């Protein structure tokens, strides 16, 4: 009886360890997303992952209220660079940049209820052929 109890505990511990190891692997892998169309991001990707919403929220007020159109953290510029090479969008499947990561992190993305989720024509015209490289 006692031995069975010890065995159960050991089994549970093993399952726990295995589970957390799997979680670590999954976290390291991250969501499978298409790479950006061009160049480095406006901030370090680690900073962007954590703070992009704050950057955009700050700069949107500058644009809406003060009419400043050349801001650093612009949602339209995010979309231009991160739009999928196949359909020019950031939403649509878990490979699409915004939807993929938000699905992975289980966070609702409201931006595109109002904002366009497609790249501007000028952006797609400027970098169309980089699609081959992943």
Partner 1 sequence: MNPVDKRRREFFGQAAAIAGTLVAPGLMLYEYAQAKAPADPVSGKVRWGMLIDTTKCAPGCRDCVDACNRENGLPGSTRSTDSQWIRKVDLKDLRTGRAVSIPVLCQHCAEPPCVDVCPTGASFKREDGIVLVDRHTCIGCRYCMMACPYKARSFVHEPTTGQKPDVPRGKGCVESCTLCVHKVDRGGTPSCVEACAAAGHGAIVFGDLNDPQSEISRRVRAASTTQLRADLRTDNGVRYQGLPG
Cα separation, 94 vs 92, whole angstroms: 7
Restricting to residues 57-96, which ones interact with partner 1 according to CB under 8 A?
Answer: 60, 62, 64-71, 76, 79
Decide whether 22 or 68 has the Cβ nearer to partner 1.
68
First vs last C-alpha separation in the chain? 57
- Nearest approach in angstroms of CB 77 to partner 1 is 10
Task: Please state, as a whole number, how many other Cβ atoms lie within 10 Å of the Cβ of residue 5.
Answer: 9
Angle CA 114–116–121, to nearest 5: 160
Decide whether 74 or 102 has the Cβ nearer to partner 1.
74
Restricting to residues 1-40, which ones interact with partner 1 according to CB under 8 A?
Answer: none
- Nearest approach in angstroms of CB 69 to partner 1 is 4
Burial, 127: exposed, middle or buried (Cβ in 10 Å; 0-12, 13-18, 19+)?
middle
Binding flag, residue 116, partner 1 (CB under 8 A): yes
| Interaction site with partner 1 (CB under 8 A) | 60, 62, 64-71, 76, 79, 113-116, 118-120
């Amino acid at each position: 009886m006692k031995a069975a109890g010890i065995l159960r505990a050991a089994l549970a511990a093993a399952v726990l360890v295995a589970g957390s190891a799997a979680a670590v692997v999954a976290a390291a892998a991250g969501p499978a997303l298409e790479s950006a169309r061009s160049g480095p991001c406006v901030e370090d990707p680690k900073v962007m992952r954590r703070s992009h919403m704050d950057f955009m929220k700050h700069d949107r007020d500058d644009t809406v209220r003060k009419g400043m159109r050349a801001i650093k953290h612009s949602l339209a510029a995010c979309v231009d660079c991160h739009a999928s090479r196949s359909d020019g969008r950031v939403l649509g499947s878990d490979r699409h940049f915004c939807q993929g990561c938000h699905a992975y992190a289980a966070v609702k993305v409201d931006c595109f209820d109002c904002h366009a989720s497609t790249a501007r024509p000028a952006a797609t015209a400027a970098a169309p052929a980089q699609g081959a490289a992943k």
